[in-house]
Structure 1
Amino acid sequence: METLMPRPYVLLSVATSIDGHIDDTSPDRLLLSNSEDFDRVDQVRAESDAILIGAGTMRADNPRLLVNSEERRAARVAAGKPAYPLKVTISASGDLDADLKFWHHGDAKVAYTTDAGAEKLRERLAGLADVVTLGESIDLGRLLDDLGERGVQQLMVEGGGSIHTAFLSQGLADEIHLAIAPLVVGQADAPSFLNPASYPGGSTRRMKLAEARTIGDVVLLRYLPKQESEQ
Structure 2
Amino acid sequence: MRRVKRPYVICHMVPSLDGRIVTKGWKLSSSALAEYERTARKFKADAWMIGRISMEPYAGKAKVPVRKVSRPIPRTDFIAPHEAESYAIALDPSGKLTWKSNDIDGEHVITVLTEQVSDDYLAFLQARGVSYLFGGKTRLDLEQVLGKLRKAFRIKKLLLEGGGKINGSFLTAGLIDEVSVLVAPLVDGSIGTPSLFDASEGKGAAHPLRLVSFEKRRGDLLWLRYKPKR
Q: TM-score, normalization: structure 1? A: 0.74
- Aligned partners of 2:15 and 2:102: how far apart in 1? 23
Which shifted more, 106-115 or 187-196? 187-196
Aligned residues: CA RMSD: 2.8
Give the structure 2 partner of residue 153 of structure 1. 156
Q: How far apart are 1:178 and its partner, in Å?
A: 1.1
Residues 1:90 and 1:118: Cα distance change in structure 2 (over 3 Å): farther
Letter in 1 for 2:116: A
Matches within 5 A, 1:43-58: 43-44=42-43, 47-58=44-55
Count of matched residue pairs: 198
Q: How far apart are 1:117 and its partner, in Å?
A: 2.0
Q: 1:140 aligns with which of 136, 139, 142?
A: 142
Matches within 5 A, 1:25-174: 31=28, 33-44=32-43, 47-59=44-56, 62-63=57-58, 85-99=86-100, 103-117=103-117, 119-125=119-125, 126-136=127-137, 137-149=139-151, 150-174=153-177
Q: How far apart are 1:121 and its partner, in Å?
A: 3.6
Letter in 2 for 1:91: D
Letter in 2 for 1:48: A
Q: How far apart are 1:213 and its partner, in Å?
A: 1.2
Give the structure 2 partner of residue 20 of structure 1. 19
Segments of structure 1 that go 5 or more residues without pairing to the other structure are 65-81
Q: How far apart are 1:10 and its partner, in Å?
A: 0.7
Give the structure 2 partner of residue 211 of structure 1. 213
- Aligned partners of 2:142 and 2:27: how far apart in 1? 28
Q: 2:189 aligns with which of 186, 191, 196?
A: 186
- Aligned partners of 1:168 and 1:193: how far apart in 2? 11
Larger Rg: 2
Identity of aligned residues (%): 27
Which shifted more, 11-20 or 126-135? 126-135
Query: Does the 8 Å contact 1:118/1:133 carry over to 2?
Result: no
Q: How far apart are 1:112 and its partner, in Å?
A: 0.7
Residues 1:180 and 1:116: Cα distance change in structure 2 (over 3 Å): same
1:202 pairs with 2:205: yes
Give the structure 2 partner of residue 177 of structure 1. 180
Give the structure 1 partner of residue 227 of structure 2. 224
- Aligned partners of 2:27 and 2:37: how far apart in 1? 13
Task: Show structure 1 runs of 4+ deviating over 4 A.
Answer: 29-32, 101-104
Letter in 2 for 1:114: T
- Aligned partners of 1:63 and 1:52: how far apart in 2? 12
Q: Secondary structure at the match of 1:115?
A: coil
- Aligned partners of 2:27 and 2:95: how far apart in 1? 27
1:11 pairs with 2:14: no
Letter in 1 for 2:190: Q
> Deviations along 1:98-119, whole A, 9 cap, x unmatched?
23x7745323221111001263
Segments of structure 2 that go 5 or more residues without pairing to the other structure are 60-82
